[in-house]
Amino acid sequence: MKTILSFIILTIITLNATNSSQLIVVTSKNWKTSNGELKRYEYKNNKWNRVGKIVSVKLGRNGLGWGIGLHKIPSTSKYIKREGDGKAPAGVFNLKEAFGYKPLNISYPYRIYRRKNHCIDDINSKYYNQIVDSSKVKRDYKSFEYMKFNKNYYKYGIVVNHNSKALKGRGSCIFIHIKNIPTAGCTVMKEYEIKEILKWLDKNKNPLLIQAPQSVIKSLLPF
C-alpha cells in the first residue's frame, strides 16, 4: 500500500510540474489486450473537460508494458516495455512533433518525412530511438523503419517522447499513427480521427499522452 501511495503522489507532482492543459488518455481493459479507448481532455475554467468523441484504438499486439516517460514505474510491476516485445508503452509521455507525407494546415509543429528518413530501432546504433536523414549520417544501423512507404500508416502521425535518453533495449520509435490492426508498440486509429487530434493539439498547452490499463490509469490522471 505504501509503494502504491508513493507512486500516485509522485505521478501527481510530476504532472503538476508539466503545466499541461491538454491530455490524450488511452485506456485498455488489462495489460495484455491490444484494444483501447482514447479520450481527449482540456483544462479550462479550473477543471478538466472532455473534448470530442471517444475513439477506439489498437495498441501493441501483446498489450502494454511500463515505458519510460514522466511517470515513476512501480517497483513491483512485471509489465515492462522492452525492444521488440510487441507492447505499447504505458505511462505519461510528452508529445514531440507531428509528421506526415505531405503538408497539413495545423498550428502544431509538423514535419514532412521522406523515404530517406529512418527511425532507428537497432539497439547497437548510436542513433537508437532517433529519426535521422539517412543521406546525412554515417550509417551504423542494420534495423530501422522507413518514415514514408507505400502504406498510409505514417501519412499522419505524432512522435511520442518515450525513452528520451535512448536507454538500450527499452523501446524505440513509438508513434500515434494510422492503422486498423495491432502494432509492434504504437497506438493507432483511422485517418480522419488522427487528423482531428492533430488540428486540436496546441504546443503551448504542453499536450501529454497518458496510457495504461484500467487498473492503474486513475493513478496517472490529474483528476
Q: What is the pLDDT of residue 11?
A: 52
**Over 50: is that where the pLDDT of 27 sits?**
yes
pLDDT > 70: percent of the chain: 92
Contact (Cβ atoms closer than 8 angstroms) between residue 177 and residue 153: yes
* pLDDT tens for each residue of 73-123: 999 999 999 999 999 999 999 999 999 999 999 999 999 999 999 999 999
Determine the average pLDDT of the residues in 172-179: 98
Angstrom distance (rounded) from CA 140 to CA 3: 42
pTM score, two decimals? 0.92
Strand-strand pairing, 117-120 and 144-146: antiparallel
Angstrom distance (rounded) from CA 6 to CA 159: 29
